[in-house]
Amino acid sequence: MGLNPAERYLSGLAKSGIRPSLERIASALEAFGRPDRACPVALVAGTNGKGTCAKALAEILRAHGLRTGLYLSPHLMSYPERYEISGRRLSPRAFESAVFRQRRLLTDLRITLTEFEFLTLMAWRLFAAARVDFAVAEVGMGGRWDATNAAEPSWSILTGVGIDHVEFLGTTDRAIAADKACIARKDRPLLVGPVRPAVRAVIARVADRIGARAVFPPHERRGWILPLPKDIFGADYDLAVAASRMILSRAFRSDRAQAGLQRSALPGRFQQKHLRNRRILLDVAHNGQALDSLFSAVRRRLRPRRLQILLGMQRQKRGEEKILPYLRPEDRIRLVKLDTERSKPPSIWKPFIATARARRLPIDPPNRMRNVLSEALETSGPEDLVVVTGSFYTVREAVRLCG
């Protein structure tokens, strides 16, 4: 599938890679009159579940009558998915127009941004133009140097901390927590999801240094009806509800919160489909913590006769071994060669393949999604389950083939 002109331009920006800094985005925001300050903002960071939490918070606020802006990252199928205004996704035409208008303005100002900085600036400009009452932004990576952190949030949310993006954030959950907690602001709350005690202590110290109030909300006692499995996403929904209670104060109503929660599911999160009378589960889990939660829920909830796992990951990602305790000799792992230069190469897969085979688990070397999906569908039965996971890229390629 070819790229449209806006996508080609953004792909060109992406080639500059990730360059941690707030200077470029802060300068751009100043040049455009600080559109990020046009309304109250909540930033949502975390290793996993931050998109789900951000979407749920925006939907709860919208259910209470607020005009909301929602900025998500990354997208599953196309860039416009990253932007919602009062629950409506930005249209492809409006997205292209916004991209080229901002490109011209930045050129005139002689400002050069990375891809994510460009997209983040565009979010604040779109929300300001739409006069939203409240904006919710998902942090892209980490917290300290993420482009979203150039804004001044009134509320900051940290869904949890696991091992991911170690090349930028650190190799321990404590180091990663210290980076993510930097989305906190002086005299404002930092809501934190379930973390182990040592990580909790790090977050509390960072918040105290900044002058923020670290808040560790208890589990919601109310039996909310959720659109996604509670054992995977429950803590993220709890945080969204806790944040909305604080934001709305006495205006908070449980019936409206429930209405918001019911329309807060995002595609590619425990998403079930049927193709050729076969069950398929799509999930963008892309690190050890998320993969462990996913396969634990698969075993408890779906109880398949046999699993066919289509696993594709980016080269820098780790944690694939977390799926092995949930597998049986009759299951099969089919590794996916993703259609991107970021795909994990065979040389990095070798230790995982060796470990799986030592446990007598069938595993196939990397192959194209078209081939592995076809093979999985042909060799599975109606009571089996095909699980597509490991990356947004993996799920995206499968969705394009499934239709």
CATH code: domain of residue 279: 3.90.190.20
Residue that finishes a domain, picked among 262, 279, 314: 262
If asked whether residues 309 and 243 sit together in one domain, one would say no
Quick one: pLDDT at residue 2?
A: 67
* Whether pLDDT at 158 is above 70: yes
Q: Is the pLDDT of residue 183 over 60?
A: yes
What is the pTM (predicted TM-score) of this model? 0.95
Q: What is the 3-state secondary structure (H, E, C) of 47-78?
A: CCCHHHHHHHHHHHHHHCCCCEEEECCCCCCC
Based on the domain organization, do 220 and 148 belong to the same domain? yes
Confidence of residue 287 (pLDDT cuts 50, 70, 90): very high
Q: What is the mean pLDDT of residues 134-150?
A: 95
Q: Given this model, what pLDDT does residue 21 score?
A: 86
| pLDDT mean over 166-193 | 90
In terms of domains, do 254 and 276 share one? no
Looking at the structure, tell me whether residues 15 and 86 fall in a common domain. Answer: yes
Q: Please check whether residues 324 and 206 belong to one and the same domain.
A: no
Same domain, 240 and 348: no
Question: Where a domain ends, among 201, 232, 262?
Answer: 262
> Contact, 39 vs 151, CB < 8 A?
no
Residue 107 scores a pLDDT above 90: yes
Ranges 152-166, 184-198, 288-302, 359-373: which has the least confidence: 152-166
**What is the pLDDT of the chain when averaged over all its residues?**
95
| Beta-bridge mates of residue 189 | 213
Could you tell me if 103 and 62 lie in one domain? yes
pLDDT of residue 1: 54
Say if residue 196 is in the same domain as residue 283: no
Of 242, 262, 282, the residue at which a domain comes to its end is 262
Per-residue pLDDT at 18: 76
Distance CA 69, CA 58 (A): 7
Considering the domain architecture, whether residues 101 and 249 belong to the same structural domain is answered as yes
State residue 168's pLDDT score.
Answer: 67
Let me know whether 87 and 236 are in one domain: yes
Q: What is the pLDDT of residue 20?
A: 82
Mean pLDDT on 18-35: 93
Residues 176 and 76 in one domain: yes
Question: What's the start-to-end Cα distance of the chain, in Å?
Answer: 13
Tens digit of pLDDT for each residue in 253-283? 999 999 999 999 999 999 999 988 899 999 9
* pLDDT in the model for residue 141: 87
Other Cβ atoms closer than 10 A to 272? 11
Residue 142 CA to residue 242 CA, distance in Å, equals 22
Quick one: pLDDT at residue 136? 98
Question: Is the Cβ–Cβ distance between 246 and 222 less than 8 Å?
Answer: no
Pairing of strands 83-85, 68-71: antiparallel
* pLDDT-derived band at 218, boundaries 50, 70, 90: confident
Neighbours of 150 (CB within 10 A): 23
The amino acid at residue 42 is: A
- The whole-number pLDDT of residue 396 equals 97
Helix 5-14 × helix 115-129 angle, to 10°: 130
Q: What is the per-residue pLDDT across 225-252, written as a single tens digit (0 to 9) for each? A: 999 999 999 999 999 999 999 999 999 9
What range defines the domain where residue 187 resides? 5-262
Q: How far apart are CA 218 and CA 402, in angstroms?
A: 40
Query: Do residue 224 and residue 285 come from a single domain?
Result: no
Q: Which backbone phi and psi does 360 adopt, to 5 degrees?
A: 60, 35
The DSSP letter of residue 314 is B
Summarised one tens digit per residue, pLDDT across range 188-211 is: 999 999 999 999 999 999 999 999
State the DSSP code for 151: S
* CATH code, domain carrying 54: 3.40.1190.10
With CA atoms as reference, report the closest residue to 127 among 65, 68, 61. Answer: 68
Q: pLDDT of 326-360, one tens digit each?
A: 999 999 999 999 999 999 999 999 999 999 999 99
* Domains identified in the chain, total number: 2
